[in-house]
Each structure stands twice: as C-alpha cells, then as structure tokens.
Amino acid sequence: MGKKIVLLVAVMFAASVMGIVCHPTAAVAAPIELNYANFPPAPTFPCVQMERWKEEVEKRTQGAVVIKTFPGGTLLKAKAMMDGVVAGQADIGCLCMAYQPGRFMLTNATSLPLGIPSSQVGSLALWDLYKKYKPEAFAKVKVLTMFTTAPANIMSKVPAQTLEQIKGLDLRASGGAAQILKAWGANQVGMPMSATPEALQKGVVQGLFSSLEVMKDLKFAEICKHVTMTDTVIYPFAVVMNMESWKKLPPKVQKVMEELGEEQAKWTGIYMDNHAKDAVAWSKEKHKVDFYQLADEELAKWNLLLAPITEKWMADAKKKGLPAKAIVDDIKAFTKKHATP
Ligand code: 3IO
C-alpha cells in the first residue's frame, strides 16, 4: 500500500516534471520581443543606458523578454520618437524633451536655470517631478524612466570666453539650453544632437552648448578646441513605451520594468557624471583642448542675464493652466533633496 503510493507520487512527479520540461508550449514559448528605438549614435549616453536597461530586463525576466535595440535613428529619428512610439512603429523609444519645448512644457522646466548640479541629481529630481505631476504629454504612453544630462558647457572652434566673443557666434543648442545661449547673445541654432556632428563639420555652427561627454563620444574634441565652463542647465530625457505593448506584457514583466524606473534614472545619472569627467580628462590629454573657467565676477554677469528665462516660462506655463510656481518650487526642492546625501 505504502509502496504503491510512493510509486504513484513518483510517477506523478516525473510526469509533472516532463510536463514542464517537454510540454510543447512551455518548451518553445517564444520570448516576448520588443523593439527599442533611439536617435543618437551607439556610443552616446542615451544608447549606453538603453543597452544597460535591455540587459537588466532580459536578466530579471529570465529571458522571457528579448529587447532589440536600434541606435542612430535607424528605427525612429529624434523628433519623431514620441509619435512613433504612440503609433507603434517602435515598442519603446528614448526621446530628448528639449527638442519639443512646447509639447513637454512641464518636464522641460528642469532645463530652466535653477541650479541642478549634476546628472544624478537632475535625473532623480526629474523622475520625482514626473511622478508628482504625471504630465498630460505622456497620457498615451507608459513612461519607463527619465534622466537628464550633466550641466551644459560651451564647446567651440573659437574661444567663447566673454560675452563679446559670444555675441553673434553660431552656437547649437535646443530647448532650455537654447534660451540660455540667446540670453548670452549668441546666434542660437536649433537642432538635435544627432544632426550636430555634420553641422560642425560643415561649418554651419561654430560650437555647441551641451554636456561634455560628447567631446569624447562624438569626437567633438577633434574640432572644438575650446570649452568654456559654465555648468548651466541640463537636457531632460524620457523613455516611453507604446501603451498596447505595455498592456500586453505579463504582470511579472511589468513589475520588473516598474522597479527599474528610478534605478535606471540613478544609474544613468552616475554613468553620465563619471563619463563627462572622463571625457574632460581625455580631451585635455589627447586633443589639447583648452578648458576655460570663468572668473566669479564674469560668471555673475552671465547668470544675471538668465533671470528673465524662468519668469517667461512661468508666465507661459500659467497661460497653459499649469501651476507654474509650484512646479519651479518642486524642482528646487527635489534638487535639494537629492543633492544632500
Ligand atoms: C545628448 C543627446 C544625444 C546624445 C548625446 C548627448 N549628450 C547630451 C545630449 C543632450 C541633448 O539632447 C542635446 O541635444 O544636446
């Protein structure tokens, strides 16, 4: 009797193991495939964070999800990213919000001159801001993470060390950073980062205003021999997913992605801050780039010109029915919270 039961249990156990191992649907259950589009070239930080996210998701879902990455605008280009993801041309897309200032007005407030000191702080503050306000601009997608660059500096072919030297100089930037260049008197030229290498090469612009890691990743150190350190304003980014693609995911996979949201923001921030430092050292050593630190009184003069930018954003935001002052106050508070260890 006892033996029979043992045998029966053994047979049932073996059958169930066989079922798990050999059941046709379980054994060949194809992984869920997701396409992830990005606009700049593969060596740049938005693509580095994309590969890290892909690896983490594939690892944490034990291969149930496979992510195919498309850097360099091969699936969707910079300004087509949001609409392309909404339309399902890609499941996931990484976009720079500064390229569409009006569309992402609320989150673009992080690129007002409010003193965000680093990418790590900026990324976590931006994520907090998104979670608190859940802007209408993202109603049609699932937001997977957000992050920012390190503060922007001027990289140029000619010295741009005084307001006189900047006056009328063709410099490239987008969104909040573009407003800063205008305030300093440059001839601001707007275009995504992905179009900048060619514009520099062809002489359409004499330099750019962005975070310094591109000196190495896009080899701007070969052509821009001058950097003026201002550490003014970040560029904000979002990673968004098509809503249908999101809803189709098993809850376990959704959980993995949701748990990665803030972690990915922080990872990207730390990567960016370290990489920007690394790019500075590399540019000095390998390409003899001159890094110029503004004197305090000069920097004060430059900063004074920036005050109207936040006022203008607040007036415009109010017109659109946004709680402008609360948003700016929150960005300052989130910045302080993440800047104090
Ligand atoms: C950026 C965008 C793409 C690749 C590398 C980058 N480093 C800084 C940015 C910020 C940005 O979007 C821009 O246009 O300066």
Name the region of 271 (left: φ>0; alpha: ψ -120 to 50; beta: rest): alpha
**CA dist., res. 336 & res. 330, Å (int):** 10
Which residue has the CA at smallest separation from atom 8 of ligand 1? 211
pLDDT at 207 over 90: yes
> For ligand 1, is residue 53 a contact (CB within 6 Å)?
no
Q: Kindly write down the DSSP assignment for every residue of 262-279, as one continuous string.
A: HHHHHHHHHHHHHHHHHH
pLDDT of residue 238: 99
Coil, helix or strand for 108?
Answer: helix
User: Could you tell me the distance, in angstroms and rounded to a whole number, from the CA of residue 321 to the centre of ligand 1?
Assistant: 29
Residue 306's CB is within 10 A of a number of other CB atoms, namely 17
**CA dist., res. 339 & res. 341, Å (int):** 6
Q: Do 135 and 223 lie in a common domain?
A: no
Q: Do 251 and 126 lie in a common domain?
A: yes
Residue 209 and residue 172 in contact, taking contact as beta carbons nearer than 8 Å: yes
The model's pTM is: 0.92
> For ligand 1, is residue 193 a contact (CB within 6 Å)?
yes
Which numbered atom of ligand 1 lies nearest the CA of 196? 14
**Using one digit for the tens of pLDDT, what is the confidence trace for 215-273?**
999 999 999 999 999 999 999 999 999 999 999 999 999 999 999 999 999 999 999 99
Which one, of 128, 138, 76, lies nearest residue 104 by Cα?
A: 138
Residue 5: in which H helix or E strand, if any? helix 2-22
User: Is there a domain that residue 16 lies in?
Assistant: no
pLDDT of residue 20: 47
Q: Do 191 and 61 lie in a common domain?
A: no
Query: Confidence band (pLDDT; 50, 70, 90) for 340?
Result: confident
Q: Do 72 and 175 lie in a common domain?
A: no
Domain that holds residue 64: 32-150+235-281+322-339
190-202 burial, b at 16+ Cβ within 10 Å, e below that, comes to ebbbbbbbebbee
CATH number of the structural domain spanning residue 256? 3.40.190.170
User: Could you tell me the distance, in angstroms and rounded to a whole number, from the CA of residue 213 to the centre of ligand 1?
Assistant: 9
Q: Do 59 and 192 lie in a common domain?
A: no
**What single DSSP character describes residue 249?**
S
Q: Do 111 and 168 lie in a common domain?
A: no
Which numbered atom of ligand 1 lies nearest the CA of 193? 14
Q: What is the tally of structural domains in the chain?
A: 2
Query: Confidence band (pLDDT; 50, 70, 90) for 29?
Result: confident
pLDDT at 50 over 90: yes
**Using one digit for the tens of pLDDT, what is the confidence trace for 121-174?**
999 999 999 999 999 999 999 999 999 999 999 999 999 999 999 999 999 999
Pocket test for ligand 1, best of 39, 44, 95 (most atoms within 8 A of CB): 44
Q: Do 254 and 107 lie in a common domain?
A: yes
Residue 102 and residue 178 in contact, taking contact as beta carbons nearer than 8 Å: no
Q: Do 274 and 294 lie in a common domain?
A: no
CATH number of the structural domain spanning residue 187? 3.40.190.10
User: Is there a domain that residue 205 lies in?
Assistant: yes
pLDDT of residue 28: 60
Q: Do 328 and 263 lie in a common domain?
A: yes
Q: Do 65 and 204 lie in a common domain?
A: no
> For ligand 1, is residue 271 a contact (CB within 6 Å)?
no
Q: In the chain, pLDDT over 70 holds for what percent of residues?
A: 92
Mean model confidence pLDDT for the chain: 94
Q: Do 171 and 144 lie in a common domain?
A: no
